[in-house]
C-alpha cells in the first residue's frame, strides 16, 4: 500500500504539473546517449507532454532571466484574456513611463492608443520593453502591482526559485529565476494557451511603420521550431528558450549564459536534436479506455471497467519504447457502491523487467449498491470463495 501511495502521488504530479518541480525521466527509460556538451552557465531539456527532464546542467542555479522574463509577462496577460478580464481589441494608452523604457523597443508613441494584441506581438516578436510596461500598467495599474501578480502566478505554478520585480527583465538585484522554473513556465504556457502561443513563431512584426525581426534565429533554421524567447543582458549573458514540435513530440530547451547569439542558438538546436534522435513517445492507454474489468460485490453490476484517468502516454529511449510492458494490479474484488474516478488499483509499466512508472487505475463508471437480495446473494458467494 505504501508503494502504491508513492506512485499515486507521482501520477498526481504529472496530471497537474504546476504543483511541483518537474522530475527527471526514470532511469529505466533513459537513453544511453548522453546529452551534448553545452557551453552555457545552465541549461535544461524537457519533454513538454510529460514534463520529464531529459538532461540538465545546474538547473536550479539562480540566474538573471533578462527578457526571458517576458514569458511570464505574456502568461499573465494570456490568462487574463482567457478569463475574459481583457480583450485583444482593448485599447491601451501609452504612458510616458512606458514610452521612455530603455532597451529593446516596439517604438510605441507616448499618449497613443495601442491594442492589447499589438502590444502582445510587440513583446513576443520584438521583445519590446516599452510594450511590456504598457501592458503591465494597463492590466494592474502600475508595473510594481503587475510584478506582484507575476510572483503570485510563479508561486501557483511551483516556480520555487523565481522572483520578479518588473515586466521586462531589465536588471534588478531582486529579479531572478532558474532554467527549471522558466522551463516549467514555458511548458504551461504552451499547454494552456496554444492559440496565443502561435505568435511566438512569427518572424517579423511592424508597428509605427517600423518592421523588426524576431530575435530567435532558429525560426529561420528549422520550420519545426516555433518559439519561444531570447534574452540578453551583460549580467545574464545570451539566453534562449527554444521549442519544437515534430514526430508527435514537443521538446523545450532552455539555455542561459551563453557567450553569443550564435552560441545560444547552436546550444538549443543541439539539445533539441538530442531529444528527437534518442526519445520516442508511446500511448499506452487512451483516455477512457478500459484497461481491465474488476469484479464487484454488493453492487448493481458484477464488474467494473477500470482505466487510467487522462490516459497513459510514456516517453522512453528510442531503443526501449517498443519493449514497454504493462501489468495490472487489482484486488480480488471491489465493494460497491463505487464512484466514477475512484482509485481502485494500479498499472505498472516496465522496460526489460525494470519498473518505469506506475499509475493508479480508476473506476470508469459509477456502480450503485445492490438491492437487499443482491447484497445477500453476494454474501453467499463470499462464503464459498
Cell of 110: 507616448
CA–CA separation, 315 and 25 (whole Å): 8
CA distance 78 to 74: 6
φ/ψ of residue 355, rounded to 5: -70, 125
How many other CB atoms are there within 10 angstroms of residue 286's CB atom? 13
- Please report how many Cα atoms fall inside a 13 Å half-sphere around the Cα of residue 268, on the Cβ side: 34
- In order of 59, 293, 299, 309, the CA distances from 375 in angstroms are 57, 20, 7, 29
Q: Show Cβ contacts of residue 8 under 8 Å, excluding neighbours closer than 6 positions.
A: 343, 346, 360
Beta bridge partners of 252: 46, 243
Peptide bond into 114 cis (omega under 30): no
Q: Are 328 and 360 in contact (CB under 8 A)?
A: no
- CA 373, CA 381: separation in Å to the nearest integer? 12
**CA–CA distances in Å: residue 143 to residues 164, 165, 170, 196, 244:** 11, 8, 12, 22, 32
**Measuring CA to CA, which residue among 262, 248, 264, 333 is closest to residue 296?**
333
Q: How far, CA to CA in Å, does 118 sit from each of 14, 22, 163, 283?
A: 35, 33, 27, 39
Helix axis angle, 116-126 relative to 129-140, nearest 10°? 140
Classify 82 as helix, strand or coil. helix
Residues with a catalytic annotation lie at 67, 70, 127
Number of Cβ within a 10 Å radius of residue 90: 16
- For residue 233, count other CB atoms closer than 10 A to its CB: 16
C-alpha 371/C-alpha 247 separation (Å) is: 52
Amino acid at each position: 500500500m505504501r508503494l502504491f501511495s508513492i506512485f499515486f502521488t507521482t501520477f498526481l504530479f504529472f496530471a497537474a504539473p504546476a504543483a511541483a518541480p518537474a522530475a527527471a525521466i526514470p532511469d529505466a527509460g533513459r537513453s544511453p546517449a548522453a546529452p551534448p556538451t553545452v557551453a552555457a552557465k545552465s541549461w535544461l531539456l524537457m519533454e513538454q507532454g510529460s514534463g520529464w527532464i531529459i538532461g540538465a546542467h545546474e538547473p536550479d542555479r539562480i540566474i538573471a532571466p533578462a527578457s526571458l522574463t517576458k514569458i511570464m509577462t505574456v502568461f499573465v496577460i494570456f490568462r487574463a484574456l482567457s478569463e475574459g478580464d481583457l480583450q485583444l481589441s482593448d485599447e491601451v494608452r501609452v504612458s510616458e513611463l512606458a514610452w521612455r523604457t530603455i532597451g529593446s523597443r516596439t517604438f510605441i508613441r507616448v499618449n497613443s492608443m495601442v491594442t492589447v494584441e499589438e502590444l502582445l506581438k510587440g513583446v513576443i516578436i520584438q521583445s519590446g520593453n516599452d510594450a511590456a510596461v504598457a501592458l503591465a500598467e494597463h492590466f494592474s495599474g502600475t508595473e510594481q502591482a503587475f510584478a506582484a501578480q507575476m510572483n503570485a502566478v510563479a508561486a501557483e505554478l511551483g516556480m520555487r526559485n523565481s522572483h520578479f520585480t518588473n515586466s521586462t527583465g531589465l536588471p534588478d538585484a531582486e529579479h531572478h529565476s532558474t532554467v527549471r522554473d522558466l522551463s516549467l513556465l514555458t511548458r504551461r504556457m504552451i499547454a494552456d494557451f496554444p492559440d496565443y502561443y502561435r505568435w511566438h513563431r512569427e518572424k517579423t512584426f511592424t508597428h509605427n511603420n517600423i518592421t523588426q525581426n524576431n530575435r530567435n534565429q532558429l525560426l529561420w533554421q528549422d520550420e519545426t521550431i516555433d518559439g519561444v524567447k531570447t534574452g540578453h543582458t551583460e549580467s545574464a549573458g545570451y539566453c534562449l528558450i527554444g521549442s519544437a514540435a515534430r514526430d508527435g513530440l514537443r521538446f523545450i530547451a532552455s539555455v542561459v549564459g551563453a557567450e553569443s547569439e550564435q552560441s545560444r542558438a547552436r546550444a538549443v538546436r543541439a539539445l533539441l536534436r538530442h531529444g528527437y534522435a534518442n526519445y520516442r513517445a508511446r500511448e499506452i492507454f487512451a483516455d477512457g479506455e478500459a484497461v481491465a474489468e474488476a469484479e464487484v460485490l454488493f453492487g448493481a453490476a458484477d464488474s467494473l471497467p477500470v482505466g487510467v484517468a487522462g490516459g497513459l502516454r510514456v516517453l522512453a529511449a528510442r531503443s526501449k519504447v517498443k519493449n514497454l510492458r504493462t501489468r495490472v494490479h487489482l484486488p480480488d474484488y471491489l465493494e460497491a457502491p463505487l464512484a466514477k474516478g475512484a482509485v481502485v488499483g494500479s498499472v505498472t509499466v516496465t522496460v526489460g523487467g525494470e519498473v518505469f512508472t506506475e499509475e493508479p487505475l480508476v473506476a470508469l463508471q459509477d456502480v450503485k449498491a445492490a438491492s437487499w437480495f443482491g447484497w445477500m446473494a453476494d454474501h453467499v458467494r463470499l462464503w464459498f470463495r
